[in-house]
Structure 1
Amino acid sequence: MPASWPHAEIVHVVGARPNFVKAAPVVAALARRGHAQRVVHTGQHYDDRMSAVFFRELGLPRPDVDLGVGSGSHGEQTAALLIGLEREFAARSPAFVIVYGDVNSTLAAALVAAKLHIPVAHVEAGLRSFDWTMPEEVNRRLTDQLSRLLFATSPEAVGHLANEGVDVDRVHFVGNPMIDTLLANLDRFDPAAVRAAHELPERYVAATLHRPANVDDPEVAARLVARLHEVADTVDIVMPVHPRGRAAFLAAGLDRHPRVRLLDPLGYIEFVALVRGAAAVVTDSGGVQEETTMLGVPCLTLRPNTERPITITHGTNQLITEAELPASVAKVLADGRRRAADPGASDTPPLWDGRAGERIAAIVSAELVGPDGAAAAPSGAAGS
């Protein structure tokens, strides 16, 4: 579709590092189809290690706009996002807005677009933890209600949307674009290089923890640190520390154990290399559950639930409590079993094959271009 056509622009809204990884294959696939695109970075993750390095490593075009929202309470951040995105969409009148995942930027963009009668596509629709204490659960549910196109990464997500009464014609099971990015870069994830760069031992456990339930309450953080120290009595722990949890973990003394190595946040390539080389991973991140599933690395998720149960049924993930952490790590290390990343294996999730971005691009393109190649006139978002 020629870029000169009026109102033909597709806007991608990204704000946090998981968004960047999901957006890269979609942006690339739409570019191959000739669509005019604009990338709006909200600045929800704003320093180089959490943001700019991802654009460089993933080949994403430099953001056309950086709203520079930064951190703050949910209310403050969402309010700033609404104001900035409304100005941007009103000025540009995009034909479609594509949002990713479940961060505050995702919900804000969907809400603004819906009120301006701009159709929304939600990549990673239908995931449900059924835990309303999670801000992400609120964001993803409301975004799904506002979206014209809902792109599901796993079969159970399609079922959740059907149970909520979403029109089946709006739902598309496309696979997982985060896995597209992982498979495209598989040869770049070098555990030996990351061990050498950070002087790490051959055997270590990688950890990444940032969820409010694990870091916001000082007592909870202190108990978790005590368990991590128990693990570190037997194996080194390497933990890139998310800015959100740094103060809580340092206050609880996480760095006071000689076998706990705290790192600054890593870029995408280096982080996945760290995960790939780990004997096990301890996390509360949804994306890490998916990456370890494909890499065959044992994953212990410190949460009572997951919106990605397919990483348990088709992957290496298991849910554990803080009290179970030392014994669970010991069991995984004693077992020592791993499998290689293989998108064609029978036990990997369906359609996690590296082609989700192209499937998404084909559907979005069909919405914008009629059967005769002329521009279609998209109707407003659901609920508008």
Structure 2
Amino acid sequence: MKKVVSILGARPQFIKAAVLSRIIRDQKQFTEVIVHTGQHFDKNMSDVFFQEMEIPKPKYNLNINGVGHGAMTGRMLEEIEKVLLLEKPALVIVYGDTNSTLAGALAAKKLGIKVVHVEAGLRSFNMAMPEEVNRILTDRISDLLLCPTNTALSNLKNEGFDHFGSKVVLSGDIMKDSVAYYSKLSDEKSGIVRSLNLEHNGFVLATIHRQENTEDLKTLKAILEGLNSISADTLVVMPLHPRTKVMMKKFNIEFEGLLIEPVGYFDMLQLLKHCKLVITDSGGLQKEAYFNQKPCIIARKQTEWVELLEGGFALIVGSDPVKIKDAYTYYQENTPDYKLELYGNEVGLNMYREILNFLA
């Protein structure tokens, strides 16, 4: 039986991999070895996802974190290469756009192992973003590129992928499957809305974690100013990313909403279900908001998920506190039409079949 190695390291990757890993186990046509790089190491951002989503315990945990981009990627490359030499897989699956993604793809490619990139073709067209560098390089050396949207497919075509010898496929967005599958389980297993006394109080869900927003003091203060202006009208609940927490504590930045610890996937789904709208700089949460029929205010200068903008499901505000408040006001008066279907159906099964055909 052929073997594949899946490289995981961050929250969005755990969520995407949970769907595909479950299908692999159910179908029993090839085996999967999971490698956790340790990029997200906080219990609430790592272990809880494996427990809740019943992802098999990683065979390898590299525990690489807390260092700069170069050191992190380099150490991951070295350690993943050791794993691949031991396991000798037929192919390696990488997800998204983190340092773990790039390190896994590089390690495999240098050993002549085929690379599958889930969520290929996304572009922000902002090379100052580490994620943009990671995704461009990963795409270029991948052999099977599974694109979530037609826009992603067009991006690769425009970059010349018709001539690179790789296989490019429109697969849809696997996070849709994840939200659909785990939504009912979250109703049974999460009590966060009740414990925070949010059942009958409309609230705004906010997450801020990106390097561009958290490491620039002026930018972070501006975003929190915008959130505080909304808190005067509606409670803003913010699960606090470790990087954001450090900056807020270091510079004594006040937040007038409700700060909570990072949450697991079930708790996040419940917060999404019960909130009025979402304010985030997370790519994954933009789509999860859409899947839960909640408007999204994007605290970035661009988004890879342009379909959300085109359909009126999201607005880009950057870090401007006035634009943040104006977008909030807009969505108090306007409701998007969620009848529009984005991102495909039975995506995980489609991806599995593409991988199986690729292995044949």
Task: Report if aligned partners of 2:33, 2:58 keep a CA contact under 8 Å in 1.
Answer: yes
CA offset at residue 140 of structure 1?
Answer: 0.3
Quick one: percent identity of the two aligned structures? Answer: 34
Task: Report if aligned partners of 2:220, 2:319 keep a CA contact under 8 Å in 1.
Answer: no
The letter for the 2-side match of 1:62 is K
**Superposed, which structure 2 residues align to 1:251-270 within 5 Å?**
251-257=250-256, 260-270=257-267
In structure 2, which of residues 93, 100, 103 is the aligned counterpart of residue 98 of structure 1? 93
CA offset at residue 253 of structure 1?
Answer: 4.3
The letter for the 2-side match of 1:366 is N
Give the direction of change, closer, same or farther, for the CA distance of 1:230–1:303 in structure 2 (3 Å limit).
same
Matched, 1:368 2:359: yes
**Cα displacement string for residues 113-172 of structure 1 (whole angstroms, at most 9, x for unaligned residues):** 000000000000000000001000000000000100000000110101111111386001
Matched, 1:293 2:290: yes
Paired residue secondary structure (1:237): strand
In structure 2, which of residues 330, 334, 342 is the aligned counterpart of residue 349 of structure 1? 342
Provide the rounded CA distance (Å) in 1 between the counterparts of 2:10 and 2:228.
Answer: 30
CA offset at residue 214 of structure 1?
Answer: 1.1
Provide the rounded CA distance (Å) in 1 between the counterparts of 2:213 and 2:187.
Answer: 30
Paired residue secondary structure (2:119): strand
The letter for the 1-side match of 2:247 is A
In structure 1, which of residues 137, 142, 150 is the aligned counterpart of residue 137 of structure 2? 142
Provide the rounded CA distance (Å) in 1 between the counterparts of 2:293 and 2:312.
Answer: 7
Task: Report if aligned partners of 1:176, 1:356 keep a CA contact under 8 Å in 2.
Answer: yes
Paired residue secondary structure (1:326): helix
Task: Report if aligned partners of 1:229, 1:254 keep a CA contact under 8 Å in 2.
Answer: no
What is aligned with 1:111?
A: 106
What is aligned with 1:374?
A: none
Provide the rounded CA distance (Å) in 2 between the counterparts of 1:226 and 1:289.
Answer: 21
- Structure 2 residue ranges without an equivalent (≥5): none
What is aligned with 1:48?
A: 43
The letter for the 2-side match of 1:288 is L
CA offset at residue 39 of structure 1?
Answer: 0.5
**Cα displacement string for residues 93-129 of structure 1 (whole angstroms, at most 9, x for unaligned residues):** 1111000000000000001100000000000000000
Q: Highest relative contact order (Cα 8 Å, sep 6+), 1 or 2?
A: 1
Paired residue secondary structure (1:185): helix
Matched, 1:25 2:50: no
CA offset at residue 226 of structure 1?
Answer: 2.0
Provide the rounded CA distance (Å) in 2 between the counterparts of 1:37 and 1:91.
Answer: 14
CA offset at residue 70 of structure 1?
Answer: 1.8
Give the direction of change, closer, same or farther, for the CA distance of 1:250–1:24 in structure 2 (3 Å limit).
same
What is aligned with 1:161?
A: 156
Provide the rounded CA distance (Å) in 1 between the counterparts of 2:292 and 2:160.
Answer: 35
CA offset at residue 56 of structure 1?
Answer: 1.3
Paired residue secondary structure (1:121): strand
Task: Report if aligned partners of 2:90, 2:113 keep a CA contact under 8 Å in 1.
Answer: yes
- Structure 1 residue ranges without an equivalent (≥5): 3-7, 370-384
Provide the rounded CA distance (Å) in 2 between the counterparts of 1:350 and 1:266.
Answer: 25
Task: Report if aligned partners of 2:3, 2:32 keep a CA contact under 8 Å in 1.
Answer: yes
Task: Report if aligned partners of 1:255, 1:261 keep a CA contact under 8 Å in 2.
Answer: no
What is aligned with 1:196?
A: 194
The letter for the 2-side match of 1:23 is A
Give the TM-score taking structure 1 as reference length: 0.88
